[in-house]
Amino acid sequence: MRAFLGYGLEESTPDHSSLSVIRQRLGPEIYQGIFEVVLSALKAHGLFRGRHLGIDSSVIEANASLRTLVHRNTEQAYWEYVKELAEKEGVDPEDEGAVRRLDKRRPGRRTSNEEWKNPHDPQAKVGRTKDGACDLIYKPEHVTDLESGAIIQAAVLEGDHADTKALSERVACAVEVVNRIVANEEDGVVRSLTADKGYFAIEEIAQIQEFDIRTVIGDANAARRCREGLTAPLRKALHRAACAVRSHSGKGLLRKRGMHLERSFEHLLDEGGLRRATLQGTENLTKRHKIAAACFNLSLLMRTLLGVGTPKQWMAKAYNLLQAVIAYLCGRALRFRSLCAKTRTFILVFHNLFRIPIAA
């Protein structure tokens, strides 16, 4: 590792605090430049075309606690507020267990982001985690190439950020990245955008279609939507979106959306250890998440060039090598005539137990 990084055995390496300071000094444009360099490498090997995009979001737990919430107007701590309610109800405020049970069962309990905030991480919002628990969260969002699975854009938004809010602006940023990477080639123009029903907003859909981008996004309120109050352009955009979802190609893109987008979240958040945030603020989290997304894109390039690109694949290769060595040793051992019957039986049972074929 020292040789790869260019450090001698007598030199000291930077510690975690130095790396954290360096991250704060570098601007977001540096991280975006690194991210686009990896995308250019994918483009050079035919792994990035940018014709069909998919967008989705997930949830990460913020590096903050609900116990430290304070009221936005009075700056009163949430736990002190609950203790006051417990004292009014005749519950001992010093009994933490009784106060906690009262807080869970009290009528009208509502922890609103409009009333409460975390003073240490104001951008963290109260919401539901992946497991369904109530906690402070952020929302990572990926824009993915549905033909190769490469992540085109990665950002971390506030926990209460609606998927439909400024959707057309985020899509326009992704289109700019695609145009920079493919150098405005005709084959690389973005043709479609695919998302789930949570991203459907008729005004945003109409703006995206103005970019000559086909929107494959289902309408969750299609049965109850009243088309009489819509203008002619909005009705046209709604009709085009519905036709795209029902078409054969649209259904194929929806299947690819579930495959590639969910896979990227699984690699980065669950397997990559980013489900729980260690930083605070959307800017710091976006920097960290963008580097992780660049590493995910590098794994696609490694699988193309080397045949392996994930830790599980490396472990599978090592296990296959171990199987080959054991099979060779078992085959060589059975050739000795001096082996007793018990030893031969043990070798046969061993290779049958682990399903290892004996080498000829």
The residue that leads in pLDDT, 129 or 67, is 129
* Residues 358, 59: Cα–Cα separation, whole Å: 48
Alpha carbon distances (Å) from 130 to 59, 96, 276, 315: 6, 27, 11, 28
Domain ranges of the chain: 23-64+126-305, 76-110, 311-353
Say whether 182 sits in a helix, a strand or coil. helix
Please tell me the predicted confidence (pLDDT) of residue 359.
46
Please tell me the predicted confidence (pLDDT) of residue 358.
46
The answer to whether residue 326 scores a pLDDT higher than 80 is: no
Q: How many CB atoms lie within 10 A of CB 56?
A: 22
User: Is the alpha carbon torsion for 275, 279, 280, 281 positive or negative?
Assistant: negative
The answer to whether residue 34 scores a pLDDT higher than 70 is: yes
pTM: predicted TM-score of the whole model, two decimal places: 0.76
The answer to whether residue 187 scores a pLDDT higher than 60 is: no
Q: Percent of the chain at pLDDT above 90?
A: 36
At 3, is the pLDDT very low, low, confident or very high (cuts 50, 70, 90)?
confident
CA angle 200, 216, 127 (to 5 degrees): 35
Phi, psi of 156 (to 5 degrees): -115, 120
**Considering the domain 23-64+126-305, what is its CATH architecture?**
2-Layer Sandwich (3.30)
Q: What is the mean pLDDT of residues 272-295?
A: 92
At 141, is the pLDDT very low, low, confident or very high (cuts 50, 70, 90)?
very high
